[in-house]
Amino acid sequence: MKSIFLIPVFFFASVGLFATAANHDDNGTEPTFQDFLAQFPKAGLPYAFNMEEMQTQLEQHDASLKGKRLDWQYYQYLPMIEESARHNRMPVYPEAVAAFETNDYHAVLYNTGRGYTKNLKSYHISIFDKAGNHLATHFVAGANPSTITTAVIDATLHASVQVYRVHWATEYQRGANDGNSIVSLAPAGKQTVQLTVGNMVEQVSWAVQQPAAPRDVLTADAK
């Protein structure tokens, strides 16, 4: 579905070199896993994404919605960032959203949303054991001109994911969409994901396979 073009190899090489040089704080010491966790606001489980809020952000094109990026020295704890960049053929800059803790795991939620309008969202959750070893990373929610994905993450670190197709009043135009609005959201798929195993850094493919039947359309007025 995405057009294919080549990213210069030197981009990934330069990222690796820069990250290596930046993997130390101002005192020359490498940040610890606890330092990394401290970059994320603590939150409780279950954790839910709000569909109406993401719809509003998608319609408003508000550049102020951009969050604070993680510093480079913490990228070492998010090993799937490079894979995400490869999928999107552009660099990603994670923004800390939330940190969770269970009896057996630590988890962090971050946004790698990017785009000309700065309102595209792509939320990922990375799971670690108590020693700080990375176990899994999954895309769980997001918003783009075609779809809105919401999720509820429960206390067992399973995510109930629901995807909606976005229908605009007029054809969406990147960078020139002021005044346009979302008139309906059509359910496009749902699934429960076990977040403690595997890796899926981009939007789940089952969410964009078949258009929903007309009777499944949820209009903006009916929400």
Helix 9-22 to helix 81-88 angle (10° resolution) is 160
Please name the residues in contact with 145: beta carbons below 8 A apart, sequence gap of 6 or more: 58, 120, 166, 168, 172, 174, 177
Structural domain boundaries of the chain? Answer: 9-222
Global pTM? 0.78
| Number of residues written out for the chain | 223
Q: Which two tokens stand for residue 76?
A: 């070492």
Q: Residue 134: helix, strand or coil by DSSP?
A: strand
Other beta carbons less than 10 A from residue 106's beta carbon: 22
Q: How far is CA 183 from the centre of its chain?
A: 24
Quote the pLDDT of residue 21. 43
Please provide the distance, in angstroms rounded to a whole number, between the alpha carbons at the two ends of the chain.
29
Residue pLDDT tens, the chain, 223 long? 433 333 343 444 444 444 444 455 556 689 999 999 999 999 999 999 999 999 988 887 655 556 678 999 999 999 988 777 676 666 778 999 999 999 999 999 999 876 544 458 889 999 999 999 999 999 999 998 999 999 999 999 999 999 999 999 999 887 778 889 999 999 998 999 999 998 887 665 544 444 444 444 443 434 4
